């Protein structure tokens, strides 16, 4: 976040149907802590998403191939610099599992190729009209599962190419590196077995978007229906 720091709490829910269709909803609440001035908070941009598994299998070129759509409604506060712009995106998500050594778990390689665009325009820095920011996203994630899937380290290379922005200086390619881990700490016969925890960090490699360093903590509870 430019000129300060920010914290976001984003409770959400996901539903999976027929082991192919996933529906997501998320209601974020943000807190902005500027370097100078009072701390402010606001509802962020409420997000909805869906992902559809199209194909594949271990005998094909890909293990998985999904398409995904996301919409973040501009429900936040632009005045407080907590959302308020909104966006939509469409993604292709191919994935392939590789055996790198018999003694090691398979390596899952997943890519995201996406296009994203703002919903509300931002006044151009030049003062001539407004601009809908547009960007292409190209991410690659590497993951392995240990101890029957209870520990899953993840390494990601995150690329964003901004092709249209309110400030022409922001029209560039940003490359970031992220590392994290998912863990399911409780055995299947424990009442807390549906609990899993994810944590991760992200660093800029070439330029940066809004933050020099981003940390994420995710707590997830799975319900069987």
The pLDDT of residue 160 is: 94
In angstroms, what CA-CA distances link 34 with 3, 6, 105, 196, 218?
Answer: 6, 8, 44, 32, 24
- Domain locations along the chain: 121-225
CB atoms closer than 10 angstroms to residue 100:
10
Buried b (16+ CB within 10 A) or exposed e, 172-207: eebebebebebbbeeeeeeeeeeebeeebebebeee
What is the phi-psi region of residue 207: left when phi exceeds 0, alpha when psi lies from -120 to 50, beta otherwise?
Answer: left
Residue 28 in contact with residue 43, Cβ under 8 Å? yes
pTM of the model: 0.88
The pLDDT-based confidence of 124 (bands split at 50, 70, 90) is confident
The pLDDT-based confidence of 187 (bands split at 50, 70, 90) is confident
pLDDT digits (tens, 9 = 90+) for 72-87: 999 999 989 899 999 9
Query: Which one of 47-51, 168-172, 184-188, 211-215 scores highest in mean pLDDT?
Result: 47-51
């Amino acid at each position: 976040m430019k000129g300060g720091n920010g914290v976001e709490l984003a409770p959400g829910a996901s539903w999976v149907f027929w082991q192919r269709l996933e529906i997501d909803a998320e209601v974020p609440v943000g807190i902005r802590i500027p370097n100078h001035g009072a701390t402010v908070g606001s509802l962020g941009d409420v997000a909805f998403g869906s992902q559809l598994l199209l194909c594949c299998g271990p005998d094909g070129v890909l293990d998985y191939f999904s398409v995904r759509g996301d919409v973040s409604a501009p429900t936040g506060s632009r005045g407080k610099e907590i959302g308020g712009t909104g966006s939509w995106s469409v993604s292709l998500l191919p994935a392939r599992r590789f055996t790198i050594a018999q003694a090691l778990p398979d390596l899952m390689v997943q890519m995201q190729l996406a296009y994203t665009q703002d919903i509300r325009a931002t006044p151009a820095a030049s003062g001539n009209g407004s601009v809908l920011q547009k960007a292409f996203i190209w991410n690659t994630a590497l993951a392995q599962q240990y101890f029957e899937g209870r520990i899953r380290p993840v390494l990601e290379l995150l690329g964003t190419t901004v092709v249209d922005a309110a400030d022409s200086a922001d029209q560039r390619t940003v490359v970031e590196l992220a590392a994290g881990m998912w863990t399911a700490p409780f055995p299947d016969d424990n009442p807390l077995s549906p609990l899993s925890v994810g944590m991760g960090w992200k660093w800029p490699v070439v330029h940066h978007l809004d933050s020099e360093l981003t940390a994420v903590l995710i707590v997830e509870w799975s319900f069987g229906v």
